[in-house]
Structure 1
Amino acid sequence: MGGIVPIGESGSTGVLPATSTELSRLLTAVRRGRVVTVTGGFREPRSLLVREMARRLASNFCDGVAVVSMDPLLGFLGIRELAAELGFPSCGPANAASWLAERDMLLVLDGAEQLAPQARTWLRELLGVAPGLRILAAGRQPLGFGQERVHHL
C-alpha cells in the first residue's frame, strides 16, 4: 500500500487524506469516468483532496478545470447561481450548456451538498449534451448521478 501523499502547493505543509495508491486510483477514475464524488464527514479533507486532484489533472483537459466552491453559509446554489459561478452570468444556463457541449474540461464542485435539486438536474442534463465534461465533486453525500464513482474518506 502507498504512503501518504504530500500536497503539491508551494508553502503547504499538509498531507492529502489519501494514500498514493488511493490517489492514483482516483485520478484514473476522473480521467476515465464522467462523475467522481469524494464524500466524508469533514469538509476540509474532501476539499484538499479534490483541489489537489484538479491541480494534477488540469493538463489532461484541453479546456482546463473550473472550480466552484460553495459556501454553506450562503445557502443552496440554483441553476442561475451555478451558471454565474461558471462564468455565464449574462447568457444563462441554456447558452452555458451549448458552450460546454464543445468543451473538454473538468468541473470541480467543492461543497456539492449546497447544490439545489434543480442545479443537480441541470448538471445531469449537461453530462448528456457535453461528452467532454467530467465532474469531480466533494460533499457529504454522493450526487446520485448514473455511473458515479464514490470515494469515502
Structure 2
Amino acid sequence: MEAAQPQPWYNTRPAPVFMIAFYCLIVLIQAGLWVAGTGFDQARQGDISFVAFLNICVVALLIFVGGVMLLARRKSSSLCFILALACGVTFSLSQVGSGSILHLLTLPMFKEYALIFGIWVYSLQLRTGNYFARPAIAW
C-alpha cells in the first residue's frame, strides 16, 4: 500500500542532481555579484570588452537554466550545458594570445569548464537511464 502513495519531489531525484542545481545557482550568484560590483563598471570604462562582459553573463545564465532544467527533468538541459561550455571555451581561446596549452590549462576558468563538462556528461548519463522517463512532479 505504501508503494502506491506518491513520493515527494525531493525523493525522486538523485543527490548529484541537487548538487548540480546548487552549483549552478552559486555560479549565477557569483556572476551577478561580479556584474553588479565591478563587471559593469569595467565594461563601461573599457577595461574589458563588452563582448567579454556579455559572454560571462550568457554563460552564467545558460549554466543556471541548465541546472533548473535538470532539476525539472527536461532533456534539453544537456543542450544548455553544452552551449555554455562552447560559448565559454570558444571565447576564452579567442582571447588568450599565448600558444602554450599549459598556460591555458592553469587558468581558473578552464577548471570551471572542466566541471561544466562533467555536469554535461552526467546529464547525458541520466538520459540513458530512466531519470527523464519519469513524469515531472509538480512543486
TM over 0.5: no
Q: Which has the higher contact order (CA 8 A, sep 6+)?
A: 1
Q: TM-score when scaled to structure 2?
A: 0.26
Structure showing the higher strand proportion among its residues: 1
Q: TM-score when scaled to structure 1?
A: 0.24
Structure showing the higher helix proportion among its residues: 2
Q: Rg bigger for which structure?
A: 2
